[in-house]
């Protein structure tokens, strides 16, 4: 038996990073999920340089990939280390759409933006406020 007093050790789910292919506990990786892209009104979308499709999307599949740090969104998930190098490798290898079994091009803009905002400690991935210096149940 693995624990003290003969209790079994708790099971820890292990996931593979689609960027570096390293295996780590699920809690150390961020889940990515495919969600339908919001429909835009007819005409040219504001703020895009390359036409209505934008620089990171082909617009064909109508799907975008978003980080799911709380692991609550429905559907197939892919996992990634909260490390900009892993995100870059996953994008270059086209590993995210392949892991999510998505046909064609998908919008990875939110994943790329999320990776650009990562801190060296990975606090952004938690989504619980632990990096704010306050206790999770504090009223202050």
At 60, is the secondary structure helix, strand, or coil? coil
- Could you tell me what percentage of the chain is helix, strand and coil, using 3-state DSSP and rounding each to the nearest 5? 25, 20, 60
**Per-residue pLDDT tens digits for 51-100:** 444 444 444 458 999 999 999 999 999 999 999 999 999 999 999 999 99
pLDDT (tens digit, 9 = 90+) per residue, 29-61?
999 999 988 875 544 444 444 444 444 444 445
* CATH level 3 topology of 14-36+56-122: Hypothetical Cytosolic Protein; Chain: A; (3.30.1230)
What pLDDT shows up at residue 140? 59
Closest CA to 17 of 117, 105, 84: 84
Do residues 99 and 37 lie in contact, with contact meaning Cβ atoms separated by under 8 Å?
no
Task: Specify burial of residue 132 (Cβ count, 10 A radius: 0-12, 13-18, 19+).
Answer: exposed
**Residue 55, Cβ neighbours under 10 Å: how many?**
9
Q: How far apart are CA 95 and CA 2, in angstroms?
A: 36
Give the residue extent of every domain in the chain. 14-36+56-122
């Amino acid at each position: 038996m693995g624990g003290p007093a003969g209790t079994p050790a708790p099971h820890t789910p292990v996931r593979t990073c689609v960027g570096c292919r390293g295996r780590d506990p699920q809690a150390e990786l961020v889940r990515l999920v495919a969600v339908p892209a919001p429909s835009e009104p007819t005409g040219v979308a504001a703020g895009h340089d390359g036409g209505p499709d934008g620089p990171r999307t082909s617009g064909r599949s109508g799907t975008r990939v978003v980080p799911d740090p709380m692991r609550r969104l429905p559907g197939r998930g892919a996992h990634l280390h909260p490390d900009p190098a892993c995100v870059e490798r996953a994008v270059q290898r086209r590993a995210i759409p392949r892991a999510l079994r998505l046909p064609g091009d998908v919008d990875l803009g939110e994943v790329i933006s999320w990776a650009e905002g990562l801190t060296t400690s990975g606090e952004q991935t938690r989504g619980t406020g632990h990096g704010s210096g306050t206790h999770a149940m504090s009223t202050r």
